[in-house]
Amino acid sequence: MSKAFSFEKREDSIGILTFDLPNEKVNIFNTKTMQELSDQLEQLKQMTDIKCLLFMSKKPGIFIAGADIKEIEQITDENIGYEVARKGQTVFAKFGNLPFPTIAVIDGACMGGGMELALNCTYRIATDSKKTKIGLPEVNLGLLPGWSGTTRLPRMVGLQRALDIILTGRHMDAKRAYRSGVIDKIIAAEWAHDKAIEFAKEVIAGNTKKLIKRRKPRGLINFIIEKTPLGRKIVFSKAEKMVMQKTGGHYPAPLMILETIKNTRKKSINNALEIEARALGKLIASGVSKNLVKIFFWTEEIKKENGTDNRQIKELPVNKAAVLGAGVMGGGIAQLFASREIPIRVKDINHEAVAKAYQQAAHILQGKLERRRIKKLEMMHIMNRISGTVDYSGFKHCDFVIEAVIEDIEIKKNVLSELEQHINDQTIIATNTSSLNVDDMAEALKIKDRFVGLHFFNPVHRMPLVEVVRGKHSSDKAIATVFNLSKKLGKTPIVVNDSPGFLVNRLLLHYMVEAVSLLESGQSMQTIDSVMRKFGMPMGPIELLDEVGIDVAVKVAKILQKTMADRMAESDLLLKMLEDGRLGKKTKKGFYIYTTGKKANDPRVVKLIAVKDKTYLSDDQLIQRMTYPMINEAARCLDEGIAQSARDVDIGMIFGTGFAPFRGGLLRYAESEGLEMVVKKLSAFKEEFGNRFQPSTSLLKFEEVGRFYSN
């Protein structure tokens, strides 16, 4: 039987325990590997001739990726979750019971359980490799670090640093981990083995007191914050306020993390670990965690896909790219490509327009610089990968070109037709349209099979979703190229078939249009927004209209009205808003006003709203009025083949609109409501408010089987 762990004892009495999980690209902890590690540590405990132990990985770019999420997914009983936590804690604690110091040598990803193992070692060193990432991302799965991370990290690096690491779930590079006190030394990746041996000899010689001393923050202010009851009370109060602002209280894990750290601070390690394990048991069996784990698996599936049914299709390499249109979107796209080390050419009709793309890219990067996400030299390198032009010079050498000009079908067709004369026959062409038909635009091209839609959401650098739009001519090769390029750009892609509004905008329009209809039935926009934020949306639908731009919403609505007029509420309110010069946040005046930089109520908007039939609706009814039409339309999209699967609908809504992840997505939410209930309510709304609520034949098909998902 092949083993995951191997041990080597050197002549200088330094032992090396190596982790290399057979037949896997990454090292993970599962039941089998944990037992093997436990047995190995028991054997090491008997070795009195070892002076120091190095724990290393043989896998390039990977230390330990964490626990096996598939095993976690199967746990539905909190007592079993508790037992899993205690088992992991017990195994890792054996590092501290060894009769010699231990050193975790981190080269590559060290996440979750991997970091918790490292915390149980006497020392931690990490390489300067770009692949070295250290963190505790459990909170993103609705969990807490339950293999001693929640207990040990605050004791090691202090309360403030630990809360930041555990509550955010963000990973750190070696430098940040060093500044945070998590690791004791940074070593060169090229000589990791030799440098680790050198460090082990320092440990044996007893030259490490300063390393241990520097782990916790020092100074009078930090003493007051960390060591006094009032200071700690302020830290926990601020952390809880931050959590509630970010999550609305919908996610139990961050609050459980705060409670656990607060309750274990003065306890012995053993008692603290007991409390930590109980907390993990409760979280691991929760519905919220199950939904977040499911989303994690969906994103992992997408990483392995190419956007087509044929996994053998190989994408074309994209080493150079270009964007047509140097507006806010074009500049955002240029910055994205350049940040991923793909040189990009930006073209517009004059140099003033091209300059705006540079300004937009620089603005985005400046924000990252101020937040210390990049350094000034890196910003310069990124900007140097962006070049501008007013002609097509350099386009012959581009592997990929994306058109991002004004949302006008005739202008786009003219631009595409002209573009085709200046590129080679292998160049993939994409259009960044949000609602226009890809097939209509393809008519302007001679080579149609290399043309696809690539819908970036605004702002490009923040929104994680892209829709890869397959037209009737789009080849598998083109789809695979754009799908994999999207992943290289750090986005989560879904493939949708060509249709007005594609998937996300088509569903979202129902949400926003119905919100406008509710305004005209006497509901206040503050109530509508508040109810949907409490539901779990990142912002309410009225706020979203201001964010998107009321002019943009009107333009999209007009396009979709051609095919969806029978299921959209009639209203001229948005046109009235435009006539009154209210375009939204970008002009500091929409449904709300933004003169101070923050949203404020504007009493004058109420005068523009013509209340037709004042109706009282409960919070639940408001939610149903806005979400159930989206479910109805999503069923149509699945039935018509616009979306490939229920998974893609939910990924689209979560990553494209921020639809409450803890609910598992729009269709998971529909299943939790019960499709029979959804149909019943829509039918009642139809009788009261009109035919736009008519349950679709598509939804009725899914109601018959009672679900959207096959399992």
Please list the active-site residues.
455
The residue among 185, 58, 189, 37 whose CA lies nearest residue 124 is 185
Q: Which neighbouring-strand residues pair with 388?
A: 346
Element (H, E) at 627: helix 619-639
Which strands, in side-by-side order, build the sheet including 102-106?
5-9, 14-19, 52-57, 102-106, 123-127, 185-187
The residue among 189, 140, 197 whose CA lies nearest residue 166 is 140
> Is the separation of the CB atoms in 506 and 633 below 8 Å?
yes
> Is the separation of the CB atoms in 106 and 173 below 8 Å?
no
DSSP 581: T
| Helix runs in 206-286, H state only | 209-213, 220-227, 229-247, 252-264, 269-284
- What's the rounded Cα separation, in Å, for the pair 406 and 483? 24
Beta strand segments in 115-266, E: 123-127, 133-135, 185-187
| End-to-end CA, the chain | 34
DSSP 342: -
- What's the rounded Cα separation, in Å, for the pair 376 and 391? 31
Q: Regarding beta strands 344-347 and 386-389, do their DSSP bridges make them parallel or antiparallel, or are they unpaired?
A: parallel
Element (H, E) at 679: helix 675-689
Q: Which neighbouring-strand residues pair with 7?
A: 17
The residue among 396, 383, 377 whose CA lies nearest residue 338 is 383
DSSP 66: E
Cis? peptide before 459, omega within 30° of 0: yes
Report DSSP letters for 426-479, one per residue: T-EEEE--SSS-HHHHHTT-SS-TTEEEEEEPSSTTT--EEEEEEPSS--HHHH
- What's the rounded Cα separation, in Å, for the pair 343 and 336? 10
- What's the rounded Cα separation, in Å, for the pair 608 and 602? 11
- What's the rounded Cα separation, in Å, for the pair 466 and 548? 16
Q: What would you report as the CA-atom Rg of the chain, rounded to the nearest whole angstrom? A: 28
The residue among 415, 456, 469 whose CA lies nearest residue 332 is 456
- What's the rounded Cα separation, in Å, for the pair 467 and 486? 9
Q: Which residues of 654-667 are buried (b: 16+ CB within 10 A; e: fewer)?
A: bbbbbbbbbbbbbb
For residue 180, the tally of other CB atoms under 10 A from its CB is 21
CA dihedral 376, 379, 380, 386 (to 10 degrees): -170
CA dihedral over 247, 248, 254, 258, signed as positive or negative: positive
CA dihedral 224, 242, 491, 319 (to 10 degrees): -30
Q: What are the tokens at 650? A: 């939910």
CA dihedral over 182, 185, 189, 192, signed as positive or negative: negative
Q: What are the tokens at 226? A: 């960390």
Three-state DSSP state, 711: coil
Cα 381 to chain centroid distance, Å, stands at 26
> Is the separation of the CB atoms in 614 and 522 below 8 Å?
yes
